[in-house]
């Protein structure tokens, strides 16, 4: 018996090879298209694919790497000749880091689910506010910082501060790039001599004035709620956000206490009502803002 005849004798049909390796025929055909696992022979007349038992270790490695979360393109590169041990170690390390990140994200999601369940159990109803974790990009801002004697005087001080900030931006020929917001530097439990800024995002650096500062707010992670209803009920959103502090990671610092966005008011029954406000509450503080 010639060597070629003996070799063909030990060839395995694709269906048998699929059952032996516990993968589908469709998968084997796809691996052939991807040049991950080519059959040792394709019958020119019938088109049948034949494999060898010697290919089982390679297929098993493909399945093992796929189980580790690698894409087929990555696996193809990892199985290529010439891939150094250092390169392989680097790819595995990168994959480990990505898996750890996904696990961390899932754990944070689980923590939010558990917090929502506890809130429902305590209040025996659906929460009025849905807290969403967001990442706010860095932004260039113009700000007017004020000291507010008492909490009930916030509108009297922040209102003129916002007016001054907008007037300054327009006089400098710049444009605001988003909704204005208030930035508190005092802790949430301080109600006297509150340190706050009226902040306006701007499109370009400006020269600072005596009472106006221009700097870049760093990117930071925030928790946000949407309040819809009367302004008198606005502080209920604060109460929902403050609960975030109880489950914040150790060492987290809190910077933003209120950040009003997309505020629209319209007359209703002779009174002004706040139609929509989104109020983030920072759960992590970035680097010290860079001054211009």
Residues 163 and 259 in one domain: yes
Residues 99 and 179 in one domain: no
Cross-strand bridge partners of residue 278: 226, 261
Query: Rounded CA gap, 50 and 16, in Å?
Result: 9
Query: Rounded CA gap, 213 and 143, in Å?
Result: 5
Angle, CA of 100, 84 and 54, to the nearest 5°: 95
Cβ-contact 157, 146 below 8 angstroms: yes
Tens digits of residue pLDDT in 14-32: 999 999 999 999 999 999 9
Angle, CA of 165, 171 and 173, to the nearest 5°: 110
Residues 199 and 281 in one domain: yes
**Residue 262: pLDDT over 50:** no
What would the mean pLDDT of 232-251 be, rounded to a whole number? 64
What's the pLDDT score for residue 52? 93
What's the pLDDT score for residue 234? 66
What's the pLDDT score for residue 78? 85
What's the pLDDT score for residue 277? 33
Residue 106 pLDDT level (bands cut at 50, 70, 90): very high
Tokens of 223: 């928790």
Return the SS3 of 135. Answer: strand
What's the pLDDT score for residue 267? 36
Residues 35 and 137 in one domain: no
Cβ-contact 70, 108 below 8 angstroms: no
**Residue 279: pLDDT over 50:** no
Residues 287 and 179 in one domain: yes
Residues 177 and 92 in one domain: no
Contacts of 171 (CB under 8 A, 6+ apart): none
Q: How far is CA 129 from CA 45, 109, 132, 225, in A?
A: 68, 17, 10, 6
Residues 159 and 281 in one domain: yes
What's the pLDDT score for residue 126? 67
Query: Rounded CA gap, 227 and 130, in Å?
Result: 10
Tell how far CA 272 is from the center of its chain: 36
Q: What is the dihedral of CA 9, 13, 18, 21, to 10 degrees?
A: 10
- What range defines the domain where residue 117 resides? 84-125
In eight-state DSSP terms, residue 5 is H
The separation between the first and the last C-alpha atoms of the chain, rounded to the nearest angstrom, is 86
Cβ-contact 180, 200 below 8 angstroms: yes
87-91, 176-180, 191-195, 285-289: range with lowest mean pLDDT: 285-289
What's the pLDDT score for residue 122? 72
Residues 90 and 219 in one domain: no
**Residue 274: pLDDT over 50:** no
In eight-state DSSP terms, residue 201 is E
**Residue 212: pLDDT over 70:** yes
Domain CATH for 49:
1.10.1660.10
Residues 285 and 144 in one domain: yes
Query: Rounded CA gap, 226 and 239, in Å?
Result: 13
Q: How far is CA 137 from CA 1, 140, 217, 218, 258, in A?
A: 73, 10, 9, 7, 17
Domain CATH for 158:
3.20.80.10
1-5, 32-36, 130-134: range with lowest mean pLDDT: 1-5
Residues 138 and 272 in one domain: yes
Residue 222 pLDDT level (bands cut at 50, 70, 90): confident
**Residue 291: pLDDT over 70:** no
Query: Among 94, 125, 156, which residue terminates a domain?
Result: 125
Residues 138 and 278 in one domain: yes
Query: Rounded CA gap, 236 and 240, in Å?
Result: 7
Residue 6 pLDDT level (bands cut at 50, 70, 90): very low
What would the mean pLDDT of 201-224 be, rounded to a whole number? 90
Tokens of 255: 């910077």
**Residue 260: pLDDT over 50:** no
Query: Rounded CA gap, 133 and 225, in Å?
Result: 9
For the chain, what percent of residues have pLDDT higher than 70? Answer: 75
Tens digits of residue pLDDT in 30-47: 999 999 999 999 988 888
Q: What is the dihedral of CA 179, 182, 188, 190, to 10 degrees?
A: -160
Residues 50 and 101 in one domain: no
Tens digits of residue pLDDT in 142-159: 999 999 999 889 889 999
- Where would I find the H helices in 42-153? 56-67, 72-78, 85-123
Does the pTM exceed 0.85? no
């Amino acid at each position: 018996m010639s060597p070629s005849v003996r070799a063909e004798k030990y060839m395995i049909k694709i269906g048998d090879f699929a059952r032996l390796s516990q993968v589908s025929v469709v998968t084997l055909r796809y691996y052939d298209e991807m040049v991950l696992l080519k059959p040792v022979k394709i019958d020119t007349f019938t088109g049948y694919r034949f494999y060898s038992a010697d290919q089982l270790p390679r297929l098993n490695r493909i399945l093992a790497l796929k189980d580790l979360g690698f894409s087929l393109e990555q696996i193809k590169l990892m199985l290529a000749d010439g891939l150094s041990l250092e390169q392989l170690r680097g790819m595995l390390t990168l994959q480990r880091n990505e898996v750890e990140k996904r696990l961390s994200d899932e754990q944070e999601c689980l923590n939010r689910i558990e917090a929502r369940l506890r809130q429902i159990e305590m209040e025996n109803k659906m929460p009025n506010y849905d807290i969403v974790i967001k990442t706010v990009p860095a932004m260039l801002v113009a700000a007017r910082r004020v000291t507010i004697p008492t909490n009930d005087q916030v509108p009297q001080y922040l209102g003129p501060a916002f007016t001054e900030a907008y007037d300054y931006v327009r006089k400098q020929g710049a444009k605001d790039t988003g909704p204005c917001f208030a930035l508190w530097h005092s802790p949430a439990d301080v109600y006297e001599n509150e340190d706050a800024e009226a902040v306006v995002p701007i499109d370009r650096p400006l020269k600072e004035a005596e009472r106006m500062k221009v700097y870049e707010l760093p990117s930071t992670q925030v928790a946000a709620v949407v309040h819809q209803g009367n302004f008198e009920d606005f502080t209920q959103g604060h109460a929902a956000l403050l609960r975030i502090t109880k489950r914040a990671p150790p060492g987290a610092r809190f910077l933003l206490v209120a950040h009003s966005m997309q505020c629209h008011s319209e007359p209703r029954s002779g009174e002004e009502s706040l139609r929509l406000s989104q109020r983030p509450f920072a759960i992590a503080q970035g680097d010290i803002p860079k001054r211009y």
